[in-house]
Chains A and B, each alone.
Chain A
Amino acid sequence: MNATTHNPLLFVESLSFKVNDLEILRDINLSIDDKEFVCIVGASGCGKTTLLRMMAGLLSPTRGHVSYCGQQVVRPHREIAVVFQDYAKALLPWRTVAGNVSLALEGCSVPAAERPQRIHELLCKVGLEDRAEAFPVQLSGGMQQRLQIARCLAQSPQLLLMDEPFGALDAMTRQTLQDEVTRLCRDSGVTVVFITHDLEEAIYLGDRVISMEKMPGKIGETLVIDLPRPRDQLTTRENTKFLAYRHQLFKLLPSGH
Chain B
Amino acid sequence: MMRLFKGLMIPGCVLGLWQWLVMIQYVKSESLSYPSAIAAAAIGVIQDGTLLVAAAQTFSGAFSGWLVGATLGIVVGIAFGLSQTLSRLMKITVETVRPIPSVALIPLALLIYGYGVLLETSVVAFSCFWPLLIVTESAVRGIEPRLIEVSRMLNFNLFDRVIKIILPAALPRIFVGMRLAAAVALVVSVTVEITANPMGLGYALIVAQESMRADRMFAFIGWIGLIGWSLNTALLNIQYRWFGKMGFWEEQV
Contact = CB atoms under 8 A, between A and B. Distances in A.
B156 interface: yes
A137 B154 contact: no
Contacts of B155: 75-76, 78, 107
A104 interface: yes
Interface string A81-94: 11010101110111
B97 interface: no
Interface in A61-111: 75-76, 78, 80-82, 84, 86, 88-90, 92-94, 103-104, 106-108
Interface string B211-253: 0000000000000000000000000000000000111110000
B153 A81 contact: yes
A84 B147 contact: no
B146 A56 contact: no
B165 interface: yes
Interface of A: 56, 58, 75-76, 78, 80-82, 84, 86, 88-90, 92-94, 103-104, 106-108, 135, 137-138, 155
Contacts of B248: 88, 93, 137
Interface of B: 144, 146-147, 149-156, 160, 164-165, 168-169, 171, 245-249
Contacts of A106: 154, 160, 164
Given A58-B149, A92-B147, A104 B246 contact: no
Contacts of A92: 147, 150, 165, 168-169
B150 to A, nearest CB: 6
Given A56-B153, A58-B152, A107-B156, A90 B146 contact: yes
Contacts of A138: 247
B150 A90 contact: yes
Given A89-B147, A92-B147, A92-B168, A107 B154 contact: yes
B149 A103 contact: no
Contacts of B246: 93-94, 135, 137
B147 A90 contact: yes
Contacts of B149: 58, 82, 84, 90
A141 to B, nearest CB: 13
Q: Kindly list the 8 A-B residue pairs having the minimum CB-CB distance in the complex, ordered from nearest.
A: A107-B154, A137-B247, A93-B249, A89-B146, A76-B153, A94-B168, A90-B146, A89-B144
A108 B155 CA distance: 8
Nearest to A84: B146
Contact of B247 (A75, A93, A107): A93
A94 B242 CA distance: 10
Contacts of B156: 107
Nearest to A135: B246
Given A86-B146, A107-B155, 19 more contacts: A75-B152, A82-B153, A84-B150, A89-B146, A89-B147, A90-B146, A90-B149, A92-B150, A92-B165, A94-B246, A103-B150, A103-B154, A103-B164, A104-B154, A106-B154, A107-B156, A135-B247, A137-B248, A155-B153
A168 B169 CA distance: 24
A106 B109 CA distance: 45
A44 B169 CA distance: 30
A155 B154 contact: yes
Contacts of B146: 84, 86, 89-90
A115 B151 CA distance: 18
A237 B63 CA distance: 68
A228 B71 CA distance: 61
25 contacts: A58-B149, A75-B155, A76-B155, A78-B155, A81-B153, A82-B153, A89-B144, A89-B146, A90-B149, A90-B150, A92-B147, A92-B150, A92-B169, A93-B246, A93-B249, A94-B168, A94-B246, A103-B150, A104-B154, A107-B151, A107-B154, A107-B155, A137-B246, A138-B247, A155-B154
